[in-house]
Amino acid sequence: MTGEAFVTGVGIHRFGRWAEKSTIQLASTAISSALADSGIDFGKVQAAYLGAEYSSFVDGRMIVQHFGWTGITINHYQQACASGSAAFREACLAVAAGRIDIALVCGYEKMGGGLLKGGDVDRDREFHLHRMGLDVTPARIAMAIQRRMHDYGETPEMLAVEAAQCFGYGALNPFGPQRPAVTVDEVLESGTVCSPLTRKMCCNSSDGAAAAIVMSRQKAAELGCLSRAVRVAAIASGSPDAEDLVGGPGAHIGGDFRAGNHTRWVTGVAYEMAGVGPDDIDLVQCHAPFAGGGMICAEAMGFCPEGEGGRFFMDGHARIDGKTPINTDGGLLARGHPLGATGVAEIFELTRQLRGDGGALQVPGNPRVALAHNTGLGCLNTHILMRD
């Protein structure tokens, strides 16, 4: 980045099932909260960046125009689970480049129930597993986890510890469905989806929206927003290739299949850009729609050696009071996963934590540096946020 970008306001519509609400209503709640948090009105916004997978640009236009017809540019991103973080990435780059001073970001989604399936097998080589009847996402993830269990001696109990941690935090998160906390045994006994994954090791699709206001340093200072602003210290992106069986955290690079390779590479770029390393990261929001995702990310981001991700969670290092807290709001497993909203919800949570506004889920020790990791089919985005 040639310049700087700051998150000056964030907002969210509680994740869950909202059959009676439209995408416009969900997004409007999140945007109104972000504007209020930033202390500005919509008239000051110079461009809008929206992310959604199951929604068209027409919906995005209606969401923005709900706040008034000001003639600003409206940009819409459709990159599966990474739609929201792609919108955030482009907003930050536009502000850092000096093209605009104030950007609105919103990720939103309304989803049906049931399992998510893969893409079009006739056009996308990533879904060749469809020919074996394995086009539903959990089946592909389960195969990769089984490989890790074979290679590293990981156990279903390790997966259950990660899931139980998420549900414990999710029960305290006022912005999620607040499903009850569960024990490790309850996770293991919740019914098999695709071995070793049980129901409570798999995220729920849901409805929701999250928003952020991004400003330049000069504009944030001019409007009195800088004192509570969080700086976007790094933006790194990439495209995991078609051999990725982990649903995001894995990749096939240079002929070496190791889950987390692409996350390892993109995170390394972000570390270099921000001038930090793994030991400097105070908390993480990582894209883990299935138990095991957090374990893989802990390795790929350098918090523990390869093959030690399960032990990292078992030993409590990923807890709020641990070495590197991971998914402090319950993550995708407990907070829910409305695809387009997920990436911006990560920014919402990390901004609140860096401000000290985490409430019952606040990370102790005055956290200063946070990492957001969000990935979808063909797109992985990593952002490092800092409180100066």
pLDDT at residue 294 in the model: 96
Domains of the chain (ranges, CATH numbers): 6-113+206-231 (3.40.47.10), 125-200+234-386 (3.40.47.10)
| CB proximity list for 123: less than 8 A, separation 6 or greater | none
Please tell me the number of Cα atoms within 13 Å of 246 on its side-chain side: 29
Residue 312 corresponds to which amino acid?
F
333 near 339, Cβ under 8 Å?
A: no
pLDDT at residue 115 in the model: 55
Helix-, strand-, coil-residue percentages of the chain, each rounded to 5: 40, 20, 40
Residue 74 corresponds to which amino acid?
I
How would you write the pLDDT of the chain (388 residues) with one tens digit per residue? 668 999 999 999 999 999 999 999 999 999 999 999 999 999 999 999 999 999 878 888 999 999 998 999 999 999 999 999 999 999 999 999 999 999 999 999 999 766 555 545 454 444 444 444 445 678 878 888 998 999 999 999 999 999 999 999 999 999 999 999 999 999 999 999 999 999 999 998 899 999 999 999 999 999 999 999 999 999 999 886 544 434 344 433 333 434 567 889 899 999 999 999 999 999 999 999 999 999 999 999 999 999 999 999 999 999 999 999 999 999 999 999 999 999 999 999 999 999 999 999 999 999 999 999 999 877 899 999 999 8
The first and second tokens of residue 379, run together, are 């797109």
CA-nearest of 375, 341, 144, 83 to 248 is 375
DSSP secondary structure letters along 259-306: TTHHHHHHHHHHHHHHT--GGG--EEE---SBTTHHHHHHHHTTSS-T
pLDDT at residue 12 in the model: 98
The first and second tokens of residue 382, run together, are 């990593």
The first and second tokens of residue 126, run together, are 């990533």
- Cβ neighbours, 10 Å, residue 172: 17
Q: Which residue has the tokens 């200072």?
A: 221
Distance separating alpha carbons of residues 259 and 71, to the nearest angstrom = 45
pLDDT at residue 378 in the model: 77
Q: What is the set of active-site residues?
A: 81, 337
DSSP secondary structure letters along 348-373: HHHHHHHHT--GGGPPSS---EEEEE
121 near 86, Cβ under 8 Å?
A: no
| Residues linked to residue 207 through DSSP beta bridges, in sequence order | 16
CA-nearest of 304, 342, 306 to 324 is 304
